[in-house]
Amino acid sequence: MTFRYLPEARQELDRQIAKYEKKESGVGLKFLDEVEYAIGRAMANPTAWSPIDPGIRRCLTQRFPYGVVYQYREDEQEILVVAIMHTRRKPGYWKRRL
């Protein structure tokens, strides 16, 4: 199983890392660790999280209010990260990416 980010999702991640680092040194890297851990959980069991849209699931981070929105591409054995989404802002904004 592999994973990859849509370019917009990677940009979201990079922006949020920078934002957290600006607030306090080291917090951005903790955020990155949480996102990578969520992606790892999704890769280990890609259908464990309930769909939030047809073919789309979200795995929440544990310490930050974010979720990894992803598409499981079973034929390719791939997780496509569609968004790194704040759980309390603009639900569904990522749908235009698909």
Contact 94, 83 (CB under 8 A): yes
Specify the DSSP element, H or E, that contains 41.
Answer: helix 27-44
The model's pLDDT over 67-80, given as tens digits with 9 standing for 90+, comes to 999 999 999 999 99
Which fold, 2-90?
A: YaeB-like fold (3.30.2310)
Each residue's pLDDT tens digit, 46-62: 999 989 999 999 999 99
User: How far is the C-alpha of 36 from the C-alpha of 39, rounded, in Å?
Assistant: 5
CA distance 62 to 39: 12
Round the average pLDDT of the chain to a whole number and report it. 95
10 Å Cβ neighbour count for 49? 19
pTM over 0.85: yes
> Is the pLDDT reported for residue 92 higher than 90?
no
Does residue 66 register a pLDDT over 90? yes
State the pLDDT at residue 32. Answer: 98
Domain residue extents for the chain: 2-90
